[in-house]
Amino acid sequence: MQNEPLELGEISFPRWNVHNDRMAEVGFLTIARRLPSLVRQAMRMAWEASPRDTLATITLSLVGGVFTAFGLLATTGVLTALFSEGPTPDRVMAALPSLALVGAAAVIRTATQAGAGWAQSRLSPQIDRLTEERLYGLTSRVELVAFDDPEFHDSLERASGRGVVVAESVVTSAVDVVTAAVGIAAAAGVLGVLHPVLLPLLLLAVLPDAWAAVRSARMRYSTMYSLIPARRRKWIISALLAEREAAAEVRSFTMRGFLLRMYDAVAKAEQDVMLGLAKRQMTARLVGEALGGIGTGLVYVALGALLALAAIPLAIAGTAVLAIRSGQQSLSNLMYATNRLYEQGLYFTDFLEFCADAERRLVGSRPAPAPENFERITAESISFSYPGAEEPALREVSIEIKRGEIIAFVGENGSGKTTLAKILSGLYEPDTGAVRWDDTDLRQVSPEELRLRTAVIAQDHTRWPLTARYNITMGTDKGQQALESAAAVAGADEVVADLPHGYRTLLDRRFKDGHELSGGQWQRIAVARGFHRDADLLICDEPTAALDARAEHALFERIRGHADGRTVLLITHRLASVRYADRIYVLNHGKVTEQGDHDTLMALDGLYAELYTLQATAYR
């Protein structure tokens, strides 16, 4: 029904308008306290990206500020000469030396600003590369279980969605803050030299704008922060509407209208929040600009009073006007840059916090070398829970696998088979208990080294947008013979033979000259990938799910033949394929409830016998 209420899971619309607790107390003083830290973090990143360009940017900005002050002071000489008594030609001639100094200062200031801009523009692509490498270097190294943690996903979304994007802007804004601060210092120095009372007047025109900028930044960040779960849901729905993987089922099940309704519900709620944000930000800006106009008027009233009281001469007043306007411009630039730096810095902080959290999730240094091979693998009292799960996925599981055996894990969906296999292969670490290859505890071994000695053929294998060769070799270089041998064992050689460019064919139709495979063909490529690894432990997790009966039978024959002294761990629901396994472990709700060979388990007349009989009956 079109009016049926939509269930949107984690999305809770009323929470979208609630500011996050950490933003509730943010004000100008908070920004002032955080500004040095943000500038320091940005400059550190810029220095890592390019010390030379960072040094050039800062040095040239400082030099430009010095010549700004010099030009203002030289202007006093020009005005003093022009406002003095005497014939006009004589006054103009007297002003020429000071005019030359003003012109020279302007030329040098323009040149240094251009140089600083050039160095700053060189920094941008280098910073982008540095931050992206850092992010993806960490996401590809964190423990696999992190991707089962919703908090990690939200943190990753903030870091990758905005944190990486704004890193360059943060550095640019930090440089702009430094440049504007130098300009303010130059104007303030000139005003201090001309008359001490002129200096406080500079603040009156910009403090309201500073308040408005800070308030606007706080509103925007808190709103964007609260919208992250909603936007993630919207992006997921948009992918279902636009990506190739779901296109067939969207049409087969006529889901277009339903998905559009769901998308519109999320998008409209997001739109309402953003419209409310725009209204609040406009109000803050109007108040800030009104108060700023009043402050500017007071500045000129005070300057006129000083002239009326003869507290300053006309030439000094003229220079003061120029200095105040220069200071106002620098202060405006500073407020804009500070506002931008703080707002972007909040997202940049998300990036830094994600990186720090990801680094804590990395596996530390482990001294023990990975065993070259093993005589047996043992798991002792293994328990494991996924992040946020109410019930453990595995409970006190103990198993033994001897070298050269074919071991099968059997059980209904959710029984813990795949989780246990991932623990044995080092992809997950158990919460309690230990996994040993002979006498080596895997907690003492680098996971990277261990994974070089294991191969996994998974049902949900990745369809890499690479050539057929790389889909099998995964970037390793063992030579053409090893490639062709693995493909032949898996039956993938027949698939490759039909490809227009053989192993050089790109397996992704989204690209020019790309080619798409069927599910069964992809399955053979994935099997060849596992065989090519030539590992001591081969884990086959539902490797025949996409194969027809003939191909399935042939594959299991090949797996048995390929074992040849290797250890094979087989996970499958098709129990006819495991009857020849050396030992079968039956899992139920995270526990091993039965174990033995096929005949032993059939005689036991437990869960295995029930499942096997059900499948056998269906074929009679």
Distances (CA, A) of 345 to 29, 51, 124, 165, 342: 16, 21, 16, 11, 5
Whether residue 5 has pLDDT greater than 60: no
- Paired strand residues for 585: 409, 595
Task: Kindly report the pTM of this predicted structure.
Answer: 0.68
The CATH code that applies to domain 460-534 is 3.40.50.300
Look at the block and give the residue holding tokens 């629901």.
573
Whether residue 243 has pLDDT greater than 60: yes
540-561 per-position pLDDT tens digit? 887 766 566 676 667 777 776 6
Whether residue 88 has pLDDT greater than 90: no
Q: How much is the average pLDDT of 299-314?
A: 72
At 12 the pLDDT is 40
HSE-CB at 532 with a 13 A cutoff on CA atoms is 29
Query: Could you tell me if 153 and 161 are in contact, meaning their C-beta atoms sit under 8 angstroms apart?
Result: no
Q: How much is the average pLDDT of 607-616?
A: 86
Look at the block and give the residue holding tokens 């500079």.
202
Whether residue 280 has pLDDT greater than 80: yes
3-state SS class at 543 = coil
3-state SS class at 378 = strand
Query: Could you tell me if 357 and 154 are in contact, meaning their C-beta atoms sit under 8 angstroms apart?
Result: no
Q: How much is the average pLDDT of 233-258?
A: 80
pLDDT-derived band at 23, boundaries 50, 70, 90: very low
Question: Mind spelling out the 3-state secondary structure of 520-534?
Answer: HHHHHHHHHHHHHHC
Residue 358 neighbours by CB under 8 Å, 6+ apart: 138, 139, 141, 142, 146
552 vs 141, more confident: 141
601 vs 321, more confident: 601
Distance CA 382, CA 395 (A): 6
Q: Residue 248 is encoded by which pair of tokens?
A: 């067939």
Longest pairwise C-alpha distance within the chain:
124
At 583 the pLDDT is 92
Cβ neighbour number for residue 508 with a 10 Å cutoff: 17
At 10 the pLDDT is 42
At 587 the pLDDT is 92
Kindly report which listed range (198-202, 569-573, 576-580, 606-610) carries the lowest average pLDDT score: 198-202
- Closest of 155, 171, 229, 163 to residue 49, by C-alpha: 171
At 232 the pLDDT is 75
Domain extent listing, the chain: 13-360, 460-534
Pairing of strands 406-410, 583-588: parallel
- The DSSP element (H or E) to which 65 belongs, if any, is helix 51-82
- The DSSP element (H or E) to which 326 belongs, if any, is helix 314-360
Distance CA 514, CA 275 (A): 44
Q: How much is the average pLDDT of 120-139?
A: 87
Please give the mean pLDDT across all residues of the chain. 79
pLDDT-derived band at 22, boundaries 50, 70, 90: very low
Q: In what order do the strands lie in the sheet with 376-384?
A: 394-402, 376-384, 432-437, 440-441
At 216 the pLDDT is 74
Distance CA 414, CA 394 (A): 10
Residue 351 CB-density burial (10 A; 0-12 exposed, 13-18 middle, 19+ buried): buried
Q: State what percent of residues in the chain have pLDDT above 70.
A: 82
**What kind of fold does domain 13-360 have according to CATH?**
ABC transporter transmembrane region fold (1.20.1560)
Q: Do domains 13-360 and 460-534 have the same CATH topology?
A: no
6 vs 404, more confident: 404
Provide the residue type at 68 as one letter: T
462-496 per-position pLDDT tens digit? 888 888 888 888 878 788 888 888 888 888 888 99
Query: Could you tell me if 173 and 341 are in contact, meaning their C-beta atoms sit under 8 angstroms apart?
Result: yes
At 15 the pLDDT is 36
246 vs 410, more confident: 410
At 513 the pLDDT is 79
529 vs 340, more confident: 529
Backbone angles phi, psi at 452, to 5 degrees: -70, -20
Look at the block and give the residue holding tokens 């490809």.
499
Query: Could you tell me if 319 and 194 are in contact, meaning their C-beta atoms sit under 8 angstroms apart?
Result: yes
Query: Could you tell me if 375 and 411 are in contact, meaning their C-beta atoms sit under 8 angstroms apart?
Result: no
Whether residue 19 has pLDDT greater than 60: no
Provide the residue type at 154 as one letter: D
At 398 the pLDDT is 92
DSSP of 350-372, one letter per residue?
HHHHHHHHHHHTS-----BPPPS
Whether residue 530 has pLDDT greater than 90: no
Distance CA 547, CA 519 (A): 8
Distance CA 410, CA 303 (A): 89
Query: Could you tell me if 37 and 110 are in contact, meaning their C-beta atoms sit under 8 angstroms apart?
Result: no
Q: How much is the average pLDDT of 201-213?
A: 67
Whether residue 383 has pLDDT greater than 90: yes
